[in-house]
A and B are shown apart, each in its own frame.
Chain A
Amino acid sequence: MKGIKTLALGAGLGSLLLSAAWAEGLDGKVIGFSQIGSESGWRAAETSVTKAEAEARGIDLKFADAQQKQENQIKAIRGFVAQGVDAILVAPVVATGWEEVLTEAKEANIPVVLLDRGIEAPEDLYLTSVASDQVVEGRVAGEWLVAAVGDKPCNVVELQGTVGSSPAINRKQGFEEALAGKDNLAIIRSQTGDFTRSKGKEVMEGFLKAEGGGANICAVYAHNDDMAVGAIQAIKDAGLKPGADILVVSIDAVPDIFSAMATGEANATVELTPNMAGPAFDALQAYWDAGTVPPKFIITESKLYTPTDDPQGEYERRKDLGY
């Protein structure tokens, strides 16, 4: 248990304490970071964690907010190249159109690391990419549910992310993989909640009405925590107890799901770590110090949190990260 706690610490802001130990190697390095923007709480947390990680390692981080525009990112990268930074981190807003600017960086001999999203470009244009595996996230959530219900029959309703988005597709796929072959579990309804609380609540309301006021529903799986928080309210409004009458499992591990967990209203969440920069910096350090070429894809851990993982403590640790 102690080991798990330590790991949990490492995943959040606490990881600073660990990573600070081997930080000297990057001290004084100048690294540019082109962030997409601040369209979600997770994104804001990623930004603040990246800044904290850089500070702990003595990195001079040049931060550029692209406000959801690729042209701004391209401009920022050109700016970084012109400034002669040591490395560039990019969280790409779209998958295509990067060849030219990344070639410029490559010609200037500046390694580029992609954060949390992939791109369609020759692999030699970037050093590595750090991202979570969304299918695994879905699978971890599904496996938890399979274990939690055991042999009991269980009707699951699913709150999908925005239709056609890759997290929605992949988290659905992973979850279905985990449920495959378990005849006692069935996904009876699946609708999009657009990753938002209010849509999550509205859709859950509809599900509850359509399924005998919730009597037929044993669990809700939400593609993100925000929709789960909305669903929890809908369940309460319908006079049921979330977490007991209807199990709630979701993905992301934002602070509010931990406070729900602390009061027993949510049962499990799978972390999408905002710390993409930590592994990126580690890879850069290994690359510069020992010439180790990292794998093209560094997958972050998809860690499961349940009420036994000190949800109140997790909430406190995360609430100031900008979620």
Chain B
Amino acid sequence: MAEEMAAPGGRPVLEAQGIVKIFGQHRALDGVDFTAHAGEVHALLGENGAGKSTLIKILTGAYQPDEGELRLDGTPIQLRNPLHGQSFGIGTVYQEVNLLPNRSVAENLFLGRQPTRFGLVDRAGIVRRARELLARYGLDIDVRAELSEFSVAVQQIVAIARAVELSGKVLVLDEPTASLDRNEVERLFDVVRGLRADGLAIIFITHFLDQVFALADRVTILRNGTRVATQPLAALNTTDVVRMMLGKDMAFEHHPSALAGGPRGAVRVEFKGIGRKGMPPFDLAIHEGEVVGVAGLLGSGRTEVARLMFGVDAAEGGEVRVDGEAVSVRNPAQAVAAGFGFCPEDRKLDGIFGDLSVRENIIIALQAKLGWFRALNHEDQIELAGRYAEALDIRAASHDMPVKLLSGGNQQKVILARWLAIDPTFLILDEPTRGIDVGAHAEIVRTINRLREEGLALFVISSELDEVVAYSNRVVVMRDREMVAELEGDAIAPEAIVEAIAGTTREARA
């Protein structure tokens, strides 16, 4: 208990003591203590597999602990399910907004407990109360409009408002910022700070360390099912946190200068005048052994460029050359035939085949390229999957297990392996490290560097500037669907990129 320092807020609200959770032979949690105090934001950190999500599920009632005890305001409680947890005042907001997109904001806020008048749903009452409620969150929107008409950030705030309305003691935020841009994150944080001032106990789970430092008061770090530390953040820096999470010193290799002016090969792929409706044509040449990083805010056209390159959206006009030869890239199948690979931003939706095995997920693009009748036999599949799984250090109990059971980082590596298996000439990576824990994150950054060294041409989109700086030979900055700046060599630095994005952004907003 020595490291359990007093929280800035006040009394403990939700306490977990000696929590043990066993799946089969595996102790997912092994005697974990955790306390959330009133009026604090308590960050929960850990690599995938550390036991973070298991702990959250126990705190919210989705799982029941095998040993240990939960106490709410000092009274032991046993939660049967999340709804039961909610009735005790424990609310949760998930990364994916968990509301009904085609119902109004007001209906979403009061669904299941609509105020009634004379036994009928009091529509006017709902609208009025919804307005009052959201005003407290600084949100002045038409609450009668469908939820889906609003940005994800607004939807998140609505989800938070609903969760706080329903519960009101403990709020669990499970990766709420994963799909928000910088401004939206700030807005969300303001809301959370307000709730903290109101005395709520807030548990905050995220992969973004900077957000932890920006928002949280204390942090609990888990590793391999045990608690490493619970400490006030004021006493820590990033390196401390990463060290505790990984149990070793680890950080990104920040040496962009090592790449500056380094030798690069001939032009590998060249895009000329590639564009389509709503996306002005662009020109870009990428060399052998070169990583072109792409920076820009969400909606700046980063993903659209990638989709055009890979033929996901067919370009209207323009030409593509690979090693000087003109190729047709009207659809992904043609792109694959040309030796392109694409790790899409939305892994779950566009990337993995959840029910197929790890092995099948790795060989699928090669098999698609070979065609229907040149089937890879079982031995070849095993060999290929084994080779790339080892090269990328994919951790799976078996290559026959469904890929959906792997962690996000390992899934991303599986998709990367899928493209390496076709022996690509050009790889497009759209947010390759999104939603991935720190360890896997660093591994992927290392892998990108390794692929570059092996002579691959890469086009990598990322919102994390540190990361872009760590692997890019060149950085293209995008704004309003156009490439507005190109940084090279020594000019590549986070501050320079921020300026390139922000300068123009401020101009545009003015």
Q: Do chains A and B touch in the complex (CB under 8 A)?
A: no
